[in-house]
Structure 1
Amino acid sequence: MSASRSVLLIIGGGIAAYKCLELIRRLKDHGIASRCILTKAGEAFVTPLSVSSLAGERCYSDLFSLTDEADIGHIALSRSTDLIVVAPATADLIAKMATGLANDLASTALLATDKRILIAPAMNPRMWEHPATRRNMAQLEKDGVLVVGPNSGAMAERGENGPGRMAEPLEILAAIERALAGDMAAQPRAIGFLGRTPGGAAIAQKPLAGKHVLVTSGPTYEPIDPVRYIANRSSGKQGHAIAAAAAAAGASVTLVSGPVGLPDPDGVTTIHVESAREMLAATEAALPADIAIFAAAVADWRVADAAPEKMKKGTSGTPALALVENPDILATVAHRKTGRPALVVGFAAETENVIDYARAKLARKGCDLIVANDVGGTGVMGGDSNTVHLVTRDGVETWPTLAKEEVASRLIAHLAGLTGVSKAGA
């Protein structure tokens, strides 16, 4: 394969197979090439055409394809890769792996490989908790197989709830990144095999588990009088998506949100504020945090003396508004002497000289990374997509135009992969 990093993705026969289409896209975005084996059961949920179109390579399924087997295709597939990923790893595939059964292309490739294997289990909660599955998982742990998930929640079957949901693509991507980097080999339980509660239930490991992530989102409203205000054209979509992605990655998330027309993200502690001063107070009260992401479009100025009553037109001419600067929330937190988050991320919405202004902001604010975007055109402020540049002291990484949810997922995956991050020069 032409990419420097590659995985062989084995797609099992579960309802979660559709998530693998997103996983393939994410892998490609991160420079990880994928070849895919689609089991016969998997074909009931996704098509070979969908898989091959996204992967950019033929999708394999038949063990006895004459063209492939002339070169012992299952051997080549299983060894010309850096990592094998099984998602969804059904109870059937897990049983085959644990017992060494090899009666189709997927199980044969798994038995013939000399590479590490990462699985993302997915099945009904009772199947997951069955003694046979527990024995099989214990055997795979002993064999050194890496595991991400499963998560708990509502299942496809009506009324079913519990452990067995396949990990989200973001979680699987983070596990793949760590496995390829070698971290999981040294610490297989960091994202790898599941812990157990005293009662034997599974505890899903996530890349930001145990971390506190603080996110600001939306605009601020700076009152002119009780009915008028100064604000920015922010919908909060990007900040809220980031908070949701951080929660999906296992973090404890505090979202400080200005006035938006969006529901609070699930699994996130949301604090609602209006003004910049309120946002600063709520942000500082939410510290300490491991990662702080400042996505809010905070108004730079406020009226020095807001009128206590509605200002009436025509009574005393056009009013003159004396403006004063609002507190700089990003710089305040980034320059803290104590309690500074290990990773401080700012946003720069610019209409010109986007990269140059972002670099200047990075130095001026004292943060570790700036997510810069051009908001000069239409469709960004309040829209559903974004084109961003990750600006650090070491360089600039430009991403293609993506849905804001995808930007959020990629950003959180990027941040989750940063270990031992501290303020430069600290």
Structure 2
Amino acid sequence: MLQGKRILLIVGGGIAAYKSLELVRRLRERGASVRSILTRAGGEFVTPLSLSALTEDKVYGELFSLTDEAEMGHIQLSRDADLLVVAPATADLLAKMTAGMADDLATTALLATDKAVLAAPAMNVRMWEHPATQANLATLRARGVAFVGPGEGAMACGEFGPGRMAEPAEILAAIEASFDQSKPLQGFSALVTSGPTHEPIDPVRYIANRSSGRQGHAIAEALAAAGAQTLLVSGPVTLPDPPGVEVVHVESAQEMLEACMAALPVDIAVCAAAVADWRVAGLSEQKLKKEAGRLPELTLAENPDILATLSKAEGNRPRLLIGFAAETEQVASHAAAKRQRKGCDWILANDVGPDSGTFGGSDNQITLIDEQGAEAWPKLDKQAVARRLVERIAEQLAGSARS
């Protein structure tokens, strides 16, 4: 797929810059040619000689170099590539990309290009979670910039959390996916639920869970990228709406069920939302007051079962109905029982125990359970899980069409 493709690799300034060398090697092995722009900060971590030796090409870095401009002007450099890859994409680089700055060769090339851009963010966890960075990501996604990672783990600064640059193999897979113009789900319709639900207790309090919505949103984006006409029904999250996806925002389980039923019929339904099992039966119209020595009595009622309801939708049941089983123990066996009980085709089982980091984290470890048995997947970031799931969905629907 990469044979003859031209990649312009922009290496930002971060300790993860060393991974860019491995990425170059893997790209060259697959037949791609690589030119590189090394930022001044990036040059503090990897050398021009290292990049030049691996790319077998000149390394560019200065915007006002008479020699470089004569040989390959910065406008031509930005447009001669089939894809621009920013790895590592530091918080500073992402901010400059958002603002449209052009104060060095890297940012000028990014502003001047008319080609696709793929960024692999890498930064401290607090920088990644800062509202400014998240706002920049949302803006860049809306402009069509694609992202891979970051992952979660220990960092060079000694902290732990999301912000680690994706591994070279993950970036390579994302690059290959960007060149895959096939749309295996073109003509299919898909419904995805994502995030938590908030079940009100009174006008200011609610029952909820720790779901971030990252997995469901990633699945909706991957389905749309594969050509499916995709509707996302999202509970309350802080994530931006995925590009190319129609989104309905809801609060409660009942609202989510109504939105799902209104979306039928669909070919594919993926129920990734962590729907609250219970709601308060007697919702208070006024804020419950704290009274010394007295605790409020809350009577709970069972929420509607969205997955089971979709399974029993006569005449409108999705061709492929997929649920999630978030478990803290006996993950596979509990999930297999849930598949039978709910009447869905597949269950994606995952461990959400307190030490798993799944809820709110960037990674997930899935076991896909169907009528044939269980298929354990390695631990992947949630975008990679989404891509792998969509590949399996496409294979399943293609196989059922042939039969």
Per the normalisation by structure 2, the TM-score is 0.60
Measure how far apart 1:276 and its partner are.
Answer: 0.3
| C-alpha contact (below 8 Å) 2:194/2:235 kept by paired residues | yes
Q: Which residue pairs with 2:5 in the alignment? A: 12
Q: How far does the alpha carbon of each residue in 1:346-399 deviate from its partner, in whole angstroms, 9 at most, with x for none?
A: 000000010001000111111110110011133111111111111111011111
Question: Are 2:293 and 1:300 aligned?
Answer: no
Question: Are 2:317 and 1:325 aligned?
Answer: no
| C-alpha contact (below 8 Å) 2:9/2:35 kept by paired residues | no
Question: Are 2:335 and 1:335 aligned?
Answer: no
Measure how far apart 1:254 and its partner are.
Answer: 0.5
List aligned pairs for 1:70-109, cutoff 5 A. none
Q: Which residue pairs with 1:288 in the alignment? A: 265
Structure 1: distance between partners of 2:227 and 2:10: 22
State the AA in 1 paired with 2:260: T
List aligned pairs for 1:181-220, cutoff 5 A. 205-220=182-197
| C-alpha contact (below 8 Å) 1:174/1:416 kept by paired residues | no
Q: Which residue pairs with 1:249 in the alignment? A: 226
Given the superposition, is the C-alpha separation of residues 170 and 361 from structure 1 closer, same or farther in structure 2, using an over 3 Å criterion? farther
Residue 405 of structure 1 aligns to a residue in which SS? helix
Q: Which has the greater radius of gyration?
A: 1
Structure 2: distance between partners of 1:370 and 1:60: 44
| C-alpha contact (below 8 Å) 2:9/2:36 kept by paired residues | no
Give the count of matched residue pairs. 281
Structure 2: distance between partners of 1:16 and 1:253: 32
Measure how far apart 1:9 and its partner are.
Answer: 5.7
List aligned pairs for 1:63-212, cutoff 5 A. 122=82, 158=111, 161=114, 205-212=182-189
| C-alpha contact (below 8 Å) 1:170/1:249 kept by paired residues | no
Q: Supply the RMSD in Å over aligned alpha carbons.
A: 3.9
Structure 2: distance between partners of 1:283 and 1:16: 42
Structure 2: distance between partners of 1:262 and 1:340: 29
Question: Are 2:322 and 1:345 aligned?
Answer: yes
Q: Which residue pairs with 1:194 in the alignment? A: none
Please list every run of at least 4 consecutive aligned residues from structure 1 whose deviation after the TM superposition is greater than 2 angstroms: 8-18, 34-39, 41-46, 121-124, 156-161, 163-166, 168-175, 419-422
| C-alpha contact (below 8 Å) 2:349/2:368 kept by paired residues | yes
Q: Which residue pairs with 1:66 in the alignment? A: none
Q: Structure 2: give runs of 5+ residues left out of the alignment.
A: 12-18, 39-53, 57-78, 85-108, 119-145, 147-172
Equivalent residue for 1:392, pick from 330, 355, 370: 370
Q: Which residue pairs with 1:263 in the alignment? A: 240
Structure 1: distance between partners of 2:116 and 2:177: 18
Q: Which residue pairs with 2:361 in the alignment? A: 383
Q: Which residue pairs with 2:208 in the alignment? A: 231
State the AA in 2 paired with 1:36: E
Structure 2: distance between partners of 1:418 and 1:288: 19
| C-alpha contact (below 8 Å) 2:335/2:349 kept by paired residues | yes
| C-alpha contact (below 8 Å) 1:369/1:391 kept by paired residues | yes
Given the superposition, is the C-alpha separation of residues 14 and 173 from structure 1 closer, same or farther in structure 2, using an over 3 Å criterion? closer
Residue 190 of structure 2 aligns to a residue in which SS? strand
| C-alpha contact (below 8 Å) 1:10/1:36 kept by paired residues | no
Residue 233 of structure 1 aligns to a residue in which SS? coil
Measure how far apart 1:206 and its partner are.
Answer: 1.1
Structure 2: distance between partners of 1:35 and 1:371: 36
Structure 2: distance between partners of 1:247 and 1:374: 27
Structure 2: distance between partners of 1:419 and 1:15: 36
Q: Which residue pairs with 1:372 in the alignment? A: 349
Q: Which residue pairs with 1:107 in the alignment? A: none
Per the normalisation by structure 1, the TM-score is 0.57
| C-alpha contact (below 8 Å) 2:233/2:256 kept by paired residues | yes
